[in-house]
Amino acid sequence: MARISVERTHTLGLEAAREKAQPLVAKLAGQYGLTPDWSGDTVKLKRSGVNGTLAISDKTIRVDVELGMLMSAMSGMIQSEIERSLDKALS
C-alpha cells in the first residue's frame, strides 16, 4: 500500500477555500472513478483500492490518500496530479 499526503496553506478563508476545492474534488472523482461524500468541510473519496480525504480549514487544504496494491504503482503520478491540481485551484 502507498500513502499520499499533500497539504497547502492558503489565505482564502474557509468558504472561498471550499469553493476552490469543489472543482478539484469533481476532477479527481471523474479522473479516478472516486465517489465523493461531503461531511462539513471534509470529503471522503472512495473506490475499490483507493480511500482518501480532502479536509479544508480556514488556513489549509489537506489531501490524504491510501492506495491499494494495484493503484500503488501509480502513486507518483497520482501525487503529482493532486499537487498540480491543488496548486492550480489555490492560485
- Give the model confidence (pLDDT) of 35-85 as tens digits: 999 999 999 999 999 999 999 999 999 999 999 998 899 899 999 989 999
40 torsion bin: left (phi>0), alpha (psi -120 to 50), beta (else): left
- Look at the chain and report how many structural domains it folds into: 1
Give the integer Cα–Cα distance in Å for 69 and 50: 10
Is 9's pLDDT higher than 90? yes
Q: Quick one: pLDDT at residue 24?
A: 86
Q: Provide the domain limits for residue 82.
A: 2-90
CB 39 within 8 A of CB 25: no
42-47/50-56 β-pairing: antiparallel
CATH code of the domain containing 22: 3.30.160.110
Which of 7, 5, 1, 20 minimizes the C-alpha distance to 64? 5
pTM above 0.85, yes or no: yes
Confidence of residue 2 (pLDDT cuts 50, 70, 90): very high
